[in-house]
């Protein structure tokens, strides 16, 4: 008979010891709350999905990502969801390169995603983008997007 002061590992063996640890660590796991989601990570994932839908000319997927009250601002002015869906076409080639994508939590269910997209060589191809995502009824929807071209060689302001 082993002495009760003998360490548990030596008394039961490594296999039994590891099984006990696994059982203890999973006890109550079924009752545990699901891990909290990170809104910034979710919004970035949604932004990447919408970029793929736009590139593929997938109107159905794009419509699902855009809120009914969606507004987009760019050099041509303001466009609504309906305007965007009317003009979307399939883009030839791969997605443009994305740089510096970041997300900022504005409120518990509101995230602003910003990034630079476009050509490495030609500044004319570069766009700065900002998209506001809102979680409504458990779904992330894009409510606002702004595309800006960089100002090239702007004169210094006195």
**DSSP class of 3:** -
Q: What is the pLDDT of residue 55?
A: 84
Domain borders along the chain are: 39-148
Quote the pLDDT of residue 145.
Answer: 96
> At 141, which helix (H) or strand (E)?
strand 139-148
**Residue with more model confidence, 40 or 55:** 40
Tell me the three state secondary structure of residue 158: coil
What average pLDDT does this structure show over 30-38?
57
User: Rg (Cα) of the chain, in Å, rounded?
Assistant: 25
**Is CATH 3.10.450.50 the right assignment for the domain spanning 39-148?**
yes
Q: Does 48 have pLDDT greater than 50?
A: yes
- What count of other Cβ atoms lies within 10 Å of the Cβ of residue 80? 14
31 pLDDT higher than 50? no
Residues in the chain: 158
Mean pLDDT value across residues 131-153: 88
CB atoms within 10 A of CB 141: 18
- Contact (CB, 8 A) for 146 and 72: yes
The model's confidence at residue 19, banded by pLDDT at 50, 70 and 90, is: very low
């Amino acid at each position: 008979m082993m002495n009760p002061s003998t360490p548990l590992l030596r008394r039961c063996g490594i296999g039994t010891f590891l099984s006990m640890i696994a059982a203890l660590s999973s006890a109550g796991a079924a009752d545990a709350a699901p891990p909290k989601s990170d809104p910034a990570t979710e919004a970035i994932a949604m932004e990447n999905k919408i970029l793929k839908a736009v590139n593929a000319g997938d109107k159905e997927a794009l419509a699902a990502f855009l809120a009914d009250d969606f507004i987009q601002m760019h050099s041509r002015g303001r466009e609504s969801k309906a305007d965007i869906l009317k003009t979307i076409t399939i883009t030839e080639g791969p997605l443009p390169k994305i740089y510096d994508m970041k997300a900022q939590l504005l409120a518990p269910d509101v995230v602003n995603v910003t990034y630079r997209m476009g050509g490495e060589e030609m500044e004319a191809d570069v766009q700065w983008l900002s998209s506001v995502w809102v979680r409504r009824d458990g779904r992330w929807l894009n409510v606002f997007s702004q595309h800006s071209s960089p100002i090239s060689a702007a004169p210094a302001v006195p």
